[in-house]
Amino acid sequence: MQKILIPVDGSEQALKAVKYASTMLKNGTEGQLHLLNVQEHLDGKIQAYRSLTEIRAMEAAHAEAALNNARQVLEEAAIPYVASKRVGPIAKSIANYAQEEHCDCIIMGTHGRGALANLLLGSIMNKVVHLAQVPVTVVR
């Protein structure tokens, strides 16, 4: 049984990756899906205005919101999954999770939310491809 990691950020492209993996499993591929949302640390000047507890709560709330649509798609399709959240450098956290959880592959969208996010996530996608020790499938 394959372990498939799908990094999600709440974007339409990430949802396409979830649907792609869902279709694979419906078509006979045996696997276990792992959804992962990675939030970058909210640090710097925000610490002057928010406590560490508030910052961690904000990170957790953003992660939950990013996971919601992916969870909904998988639950409607009755596909079991594991959902995880991390805080840290996005590409490195994705590659590390794949290695720690012994995932067989990563399926991810081409880009995320908005023009700046597209630029940054495209960069993240490239970093994941270079850092991951497993195959990475990019869904358009």
Task: Please give the chain's pLDDT, 140 residues, in tens.
Answer: 899 999 999 999 999 999 999 999 988 889 999 999 999 887 667 777 888 899 889 999 999 999 999 999 999 999 999 999 999 999 999 999 999 999 999 999 986 554 555 555 568 888 999 999 999 999 98
Q: In whole angstroms, give the CA distance from residue 107 to residue 19.
A: 10
**How confident is the model at residue 110, as a pLDDT?**
82
**How confident is the model at residue 112, as a pLDDT?**
56
| Strands of the sheet with 105-109, listed across from one edge | 81-87, 31-39, 2-7, 105-109, 136-139
Q: In whole angstroms, give the CA distance from residue 135 to residue 46.
A: 37
Distance of alpha carbon 51 from its chain centroid, rounded?
26
Q: Any residues with CB less than 8 A from the CB of 77 and at least 6 apart, and which?
A: 22, 26
For residue 133, what are the CA distances in angstroms to 33, 65, 78, 103, 140?
18, 28, 29, 10, 22
Q: In whole angstroms, give the CA distance from residue 62 to residue 56.
A: 10
**How confident is the model at residue 57, as a pLDDT?**
92
Q: In whole angstroms, give the CA distance from residue 36 to residue 9.
A: 8
**How confident is the model at residue 117, as a pLDDT?**
54
**How confident is the model at residue 122, as a pLDDT?**
60
Query: For the whole model, what pTM was predicted?
Result: 0.89
**How confident is the model at residue 140, as a pLDDT?**
86
**How confident is the model at residue 28, as a pLDDT?**
86
**How confident is the model at residue 69, as a pLDDT?**
96
**How confident is the model at residue 29, as a pLDDT?**
84
**How confident is the model at residue 8, as a pLDDT?**
97
